[in-house]
Amino acid sequence: MNYDVTIGLEVHAQLATNTKAWCNCAIETYAEENTKVCEVCSGQPGTLPVLNERARNFAVSLGLATDCKINNLSYFDRKNYFYPDLPKGYQITQFEVPVCEDGFLELSLEDGTNKKIGIERIQMEEDTGKSTHEGKSSLINLNRAGTPLVEIVGRPHIKNAVEAVAYLKKLHSILTYLGVSDGNLQEGNFRCDVNISLAPKGSTKLGTRTETKNLNSFRSVERLIAIEIERQAKILDSGKKVIQQTLGFDVDTAEIKVLRTKSDAHDYRYFPEPDLLPLIVDESLVDRLRTELPELPDVKKDRFMKTYKIPAYDADFLTSTRSLADYFEQAAKKYKGDEPKKVSNWIMVELFKNLNELNLPIERSPVSSNEIAELLNLVSQGDISGKMAKDVFQKMFDEGKSASQVVEELGLKQISDSGEIETIVENIIKNNSSEVTRYENGEKKLFGFFVGQVMKASRGQANPKLVNELLKKRLK
């Protein structure tokens, strides 16, 4: 490729408030169509919006968590456009001065390096209703109209799809750690617009960009970036120019379609929203929200590495969502063995293999953090072997039983009674007298043979450490 790629991402995240941004209508994703609607959010003449303070606090918390400057005074503006699911004929947003500005996210990339991606601004705004197209007619549901959003405008510091996905995952995890958004991708509560431009390698000027709207999975962002880079490179290779366009991406067919050609800020005839007061965020509110911030993923990651002595890779994986981090930490606290790394291994390998097969999130794991800790305690106490633990775990996951229940049912408990093992050892020695003679004449590698025989006779249940000790004592 003869081009430098520049990518900038804009994310819209739905704020997890109970009610809408400017009215008291409840936010309920699955409510019957047009039942969560009032005069305000359906844009009736003469109604006035009143700001939801919780939404404001959420936006400020996000700004603090992403190292933004918080503006003590910011403003709402109207972005005018006509669309059937936008009943007022404009969207209330922030244009001139947003509530938060000039922050960054730090990514830890797979090659072990870190990269800062700038955040230009975080603005408060509202969502539209939802149109459903059926044949020649369209249906409008206004339940979502007026739902509070934050738009997080990233700086064009991203060079490829890997960085783009890492940025989105990081932002998603911060939003969910804060509880500011549920981050539900399927519902479109976290969606992304991707700006891409190509310029000749080494060029100081950016190329013409396209903006692809409303991608709602990490995977689709990754695919869109690959396809759009290739499309633009082909155009430039043939000597033509990329046109500034707003695009849509069909995830099923991987097709890019043109939504509209050129849309600049002036197309929207922005002007100050006269119905809302300026947004005041005084320092005492900023201080209070700062002290209320929870432990964020990066800090948690470092703490996990130190407290539980797990490698960076594990800590990164385990802190990717707050629920997963809580799951690990609860299990690690209940675990009585001396290698917490075992806990992270079991979660990352056995548990996730099973969860992924059924497409289950950690919140719905059939094996709880207490139960996985109980299983690992049985291993560290020598009650069952690590190998048996895998079978026990599978039954726990499939049948929803506890570790001790499964161990009992399968009769798997390790034999740690030395009397019982001694009897087996005696029998093995009696029945293998020629091997005993050879061993005692110096063929020491036969020791493994005796261990194997004892384990076999105990159906794998004898405690291997005890078997070794007793055999050593018995054989000269």
Residue 23 found at the interface with Zn ion (CB under 5 A) = yes
Structure letter (DSSP) for residue 303: H
Who's near 182: CB < 8 A, 6+ residues apart?
Answer: 14, 16, 176, 189
- Please identify, among the stretches 18-26, 57-65, 248-256, 341-349, the one whose residues bind Zn ion according to the rule CB under 5 A: 18-26
Helix (H, G, I), strand (E, B) or coil at 359: coil
**Are the CB atoms for 181 and 16 separated by under 8 Å?**
yes
Q: How far is the CB of 151 from Mn ion (least distance, A)?
A: 4
Residue 101 found at the interface with Mn ion (CB under 5 A) = no
Q: How far is the CB of 25 from Zn ion (least distance, A)?
A: 3
How far is Cα 212 from Cα 196, in angstroms, rounded to an integer?
Answer: 8
Residue 25 found at the interface with Zn ion (CB under 5 A) = yes
Task: Please name the residue ranges forming H helices in 386-459.
Answer: 386-399, 403-410, 418-431, 433-440, 447-457
Number of residues that bind Zn ion (CB under 5 A): 5
CB closer to Zn ion, 38 vs 285:
38
Q: How far is the CB of 164 from Mn ion (least distance, A)?
A: 18
User: Which of 5, 41, 224, 389 touches Zn ion (CB under 5 A)?
Assistant: 41
- Please identify, among the stretches 18-26, 148-156, 325-333, 346-354, the one whose residues bind Mn ion according to the rule CB under 5 A: 148-156
Side chain identity at residue 354, one-letter code: N
- Please identify, among the stretches 25-33, 92-100, 105-113, 151-159, the one whose residues bind Zn ion according to the rule CB under 5 A: 25-33
Q: How far is the CB of 150 from Zn ion (least distance, A)?
A: 19
Who's near 406: CB < 8 A, 6+ residues apart?
Answer: 392, 395, 396, 399, 412
365-385 burial by CB neighbour count: b if 16+ within 10 A, else e?
A: bbbebebbbbbbbbbeeebbb
Helix (H, G, I), strand (E, B) or coil at 51: coil
CB closer to Zn ion, 21 vs 378:
21
**Are the CB atoms for 454 and 424 separated by under 8 Å?**
yes
Tokens for 283, please give them. Answer: 């320092």
- Please identify, among the stretches 146-154, 373-381, 419-427, 438-446, the one whose residues bind Mn ion according to the rule CB under 5 A: 146-154
| Residue matched to tokens 């700038």 | 118
Residue 451 found at the interface with Zn ion (CB under 5 A) = no
Q: How far is the CB of 261 from Mn ion (least distance, A)?
A: 19
**Are the CB atoms for 169 and 178 separated by under 8 Å?**
no
Which option in Zn ion, Mn ion, none does residue 41 bind, with CB closer than 5 to 8 A by kind? Zn ion
CB closer to Zn ion, 41 vs 178:
41
User: Which of 126, 127, 151, 314 touches Mn ion (CB under 5 A)?
Assistant: 151
Q: How far is the CB of 125 from Mn ion (least distance, A)?
A: 5
Chain positions contacting Zn ion, by CB under 5 A: 23, 25, 38, 40-41
Chain positions contacting Mn ion, by CB under 5 A: 151
